A and B are shown apart, each in its own frame.
Chain A
Amino acid sequence: MIPLFTRRRFLDLAGAAGGSAAIYQMALGLGLIPAAARADRPDLAPLGARRRRRVVILGAGISGLTSAYELGRKGYEVIVLEASHRAGGRNLTLRHGDLIDEIGNPRRCEFDPDPDLYMNAGPARIPGHHTALLGYCRELGVGLEPFINDNRNAWVQDEAMFGGRRIRNREYITDTRGFIAELAAKSIKPEDLAAPLTRGDYEHVLAYLRSLGDLDQSFKYRGSLRAGMALHDPSAPDVLKQPLDIHELLQSNFMMNIMTFGEGDDQAAMMMEPIGGMDQVVAGFLRKVDQHVRLHAMVESVQVKERGVRIVYHAQGVRTVIDADYCLSCIPVHLLSGIDNNFPADFAAGLAAVPRGKLFKIGFQMKERFWERENIYGGISWTSQDIQQLWYPAHGIHRQKGVILGAYTFGPRTGEMFARLSNEQRLELAIRQGEQLHPGYRGYVEHGVSIPWVRMNNMLGCAAAWTDELRQQWFDLLRSPVGNYYNIGDQMSYLPGWQEGAIYSAWHALADIDRRERQNSQPAAA
């Protein structure tokens, strides 16, 4: 199986070959479809002093916190019920002493107490065009720093090529592209160019191919500085590396995804991360809404009434009933499905129809930042092994220790496999596979944490694994309100697995509430 390495495409198109989303994007790019108006941040009408609206928000994930913040500052009375011991949902940063609340297997994060030693177990990078999230970061005072995603100095390692020997990402990309450019330049003939290309364009195509592959005057690829020098010695003339054996390079599937991973819409530079951990976003929201958030509050029942919604929840041994005007829920739909409700039958069926993603991460505290001695500062090494990727921290550079991501897997089968293992077995497997990328890896490991999202308490999945077919069948229905009840969360967006999607889902529901409230506040016609 060829893994799909871009998160959005994986999450959107899991199980589907091709998919209409890609076709839509292509058509959009070609100007065939008018771009839909953006659902921008709603400017909610403030409630007048005499009006009172109570909104209960189920789940303190990013969409729940966004809703609480937006509604609260416009005079709505909000309460956020969160089943877990913490706010944030899958926005989870692990540091010294933090609880890892895996069902049946709770444990502590044993990283040293140090502001640079943390792991973003959920979202970990923010693309520069995720303006909704970046806007809140600015507004809430969440400091950002550059995040390094794509690093040509990192490694690629594939059992299918070079006997599993690691090679630099820059060599892999440069040598493969050089070969392909040479092949194209030698194959293409002026008469092959069809309109709108002209004979005159032929020279430009050749020039482009020469530049693309760094070919010599006779269109031969003889190696390139882009692949790195055999020896970095500025006091001596450049010595190019010899191109790698193209037959070996062609054995790897990386060219189908890794070569272009860092060019993806959601993966290309420039990306950001909050200084000190992704949960600084949560902390920013909580500075505004903390007083409204009730932890350890498990929702038992959601009953949509003629006017409003009745919620029953259980906390600290006490069962409480709340009657609210509106309810917004970012409870994962696969868990909402098990909560008593009076939703229409088709809506309830939809809740149970959306499969859950099984993404999995491991973090290791390393006693030395050995990767920096290999000229790697941030970024990702890729492997065909189960662990799929290693991430190197872009913060805390040149300090003694660092936390690296020792595994990040997208596929459901791999996620299930890791989830079946004990924490110790998971770490052992990841160490053994990490050795293939960094000989001596095991010796640097001090502590490890594993996060199988499919087993994390009150989550049991990451993220909604929509397929095109399921979207067609259920998405509009599940995003539409039932009475005054709304599903939100990244699951209710076209960007599952990203905080940006969560925020837009909240905006979508808030805009509808605002529309209804504005209608209600109109004076009756004379």
Chain B
Amino acid sequence: MSIRWSVLALISLSTRPALAAETSFEYCTVCHGANGNGNLAIRAPRIAGLEPWYLKSQFAAFRAGWRGAHADDAPGNEMRPVAVALSEPQIDRAISYVGSFSPKPPPITVKGDVARGQQLYAACASCHGAAGQGNESLHAPALAMRTDWYLATQLRDYRAGLRGAHADDPNGQQMHAVAAALPDDAAVNDVVAFIDTLR
């Protein structure tokens, strides 16, 4: 609790004190749900359990406009102003706030051909690990126990150029290339259905 409160106090510094007195700025859980476990209804993925280094990199990506700036990316459009409004120290505090959440296993919502997905996953495993555990040194976040519909959305967004299309975003560009190599749209669901088995 003390962690949470100190985070909120710090986030509030970005605005006039009078503003901070009136609003709690508990933005993370308004959209991402109680304990950051996600809310499918508004396409907000689970953030509980995400690696701090990955959260940091994604705040930076939203701030830079590599994510959430494309007109067809409505959920990203919603996240971007939040990232832009926070200062660097506030982002660090927000990340430790997310670290205080109690993660729940996300529901399985994506249906696909698991066997085909397993074959396709070979292209993912070199960076994200055979068990989807992630690899910080390669800037590859864990995929296991992530929101499956979100993974599918992101793969489609990478394929469509809504994410990973910016020249200054080499990690995103790499994902764009890998996602573009998936043979078809069904392959997105197949590979995510396989990732769902990595629990």
Binding site for B on A (CB under 8 A): 83-86, 99, 101, 103-106, 108, 296, 298-301, 314, 317-319, 333-335, 337-340, 351-354, 356, 416-417, 419-420, 454-455, 457-458, 460-461
Contacts and interface: CB of A to CB of B under 8 A. Distances in A.
A119 B50 CA distance: 41
A103 B82 contact: yes
Interface of B: 1-2, 4-5, 8, 15-16, 19, 22-27, 29-35, 37-42, 44, 71, 74, 77-78, 80-85
A419 B82 CA distance: 13
B24 A339 contact: no
Contact of B85 (A86, A104, A108): A104
Contacts of B41: 333-335, 337-338, 351-354
A416 B23 contact: no
Nearest to B86: A104
A335 B39 contact: yes
Contacts of B23: 84-85, 99, 101, 106, 457
Contacts of A317: 1-2, 4-5, 8
Closest 4 CB pairs of A and B: A338-B33, A338-B39, A104-B81, A104-B82
Given A338-B39, A338-B42, A104 B84 contact: yes
B122 to A, nearest CB: 34
B113 to A, nearest CB: 24
B82 A337 contact: no
Contacts of B78: 103, 419, 454-455
Given A105-B85, A455-B78, A460-B30, 15 more contacts: A84-B23, A85-B23, A103-B27, A104-B27, A334-B39, A334-B41, A338-B29, A338-B33, A338-B38, A338-B42, A340-B37, A354-B41, A416-B77, A454-B78, A457-B27
Contacts of A99: 19, 22-23
B77 A420 contact: yes
Contact of B32 (A299, A333, A338, A458): A338
B34 A301 contact: yes
Nearest to B85: A104
B40 A352 contact: yes
5 contacts: A105-B81, A106-B19, A338-B41, A416-B77, A457-B23
Contacts of A85: 22-24
Contacts of B84: 104
A334 B32 CA distance: 11
Contacts of A351: 41
Contact of A339 (B27, B34, B83): B34
A337 B24 CA distance: 21
B24 A319 contact: no
A340 B42 CA distance: 15
Nearest to A301: B34
Contacts of B34: 299-301, 338-340
Nearest to B2: A317
Contacts of B40: 337, 352
Contacts of A83: 24, 26, 30
Contacts of A335: 30, 39, 41-42
Contacts of B5: 317
B153 to A, nearest CB: 15
B35 A300 contact: yes
B42 A460 contact: yes
Nearest to A86: B22
Contact of B24 (A86, A298, A454): A298
A298 B35 CA distance: 12
B142 to A, nearest CB: 22
Nearest to A319: B1
Nearest to B68: A420
A337 B107 CA distance: 13
A467 to B, nearest CB: 16
A199 B35 CA distance: 75
Given A300-B35, A317-B5, A106 B44 contact: no
Contacts of B77: 416, 419-420
Nearest to B33: A338
A436 B59 CA distance: 40
Contact of A356 (B2, B32, B37, B42): B42
Nearest to B84: A104
A99 B16 CA distance: 11
A103 B84 CA distance: 11
B31 A460 contact: yes
A314 B47 CA distance: 19
A242 B197 CA distance: 75
B42 A298 contact: no
Contacts of B19: 99, 106, 108
> Of residues A106, A353, A455, A461, which shows the largest number of chain B Cβ atoms within 10 Å of its Cβ?
A106
Contacts of B38: 338
A339 B33 contact: yes
A313 to B, nearest CB: 10
Contacts of A318: 1
A353 B30 CA distance: 18
A136 B59 CA distance: 47
Contacts of B26: 83, 298, 314
